[in-house]
Amino acid sequence: MTNEQPRTAPMTPTARLVETVITPPVIAAVAAHAAAKVPGVVRLEPGLRGLAGSLTRIARQRIKGLDPAPTEGVRAFLEHDPPDVRIEIDLSLSGLDQAAATAQAVQRAVTRAVTEATGLIPSAVSVSILDIEIRGGLL
């Protein structure tokens, strides 16, 4: 006879409910990063409305001690029920590349990056070309 205690099944921790919240500024930051990397994109253009919103967001994040991610020139709209993401991007392109092809490449890159980062598939990625930079007198 031994002094062993009877063995019981190990207790499993109770399942915890985890909620992930993805906000429009996060989506905009992912989209801005993806758009800026597309060949032919010179820069994102914030415009007047974008500058005002960006300044407010940056101030709020700095107060909280956070480093703001660049989102100038990008606006993300998120509906929760049903989940829907729409993205608007304003940019400046190089005069050396075809504008329509570059805009389509931006749409594909942004859709892919946002989907991979958030799991949300954008229903629309609208690209507005606000400027085409012509260097060296080519045009």
Task: Give the residue among 120, 53, 42 at the shortest CA–CA distance from 87.
Answer: 120
Instruction: Give backbone dihedrals phi and psi of 15, rounded to 5 degrees, phi first.
Output: -65, 135
Specify the pLDDT at position 20. Answer: 74
Q: What is the pLDDT of residue 21?
A: 77
DSSP string covering 33-48: HHHHTSTTEEEE--HH
- The pLDDT value recorded for residue 139 is 47
Q: How far is CA 87 from the centre of its chain?
A: 9
pTM, to two decimals: 0.72
Asked whether the CA dihedral 41, 122, 68, 73 is positive or negative, the reply is positive
pLDDT in tens, the chain (139 residues): 545 544 445 555 666 787 777 888 899 999 999 999 999 999 998 865 555 555 565 566 567 666 556 778 999 999 988 889 999 999 999 988 899 999 999 999 999 999 999 999 999 999 999 999 887 544 4
C-alpha torsion angle, residues 18, 80, 54, 88 (rounded to 10): 130
Residues 6+ apart with CB under 8 A from 97: 39, 40
**pLDDT recorded at residue 10:** 58
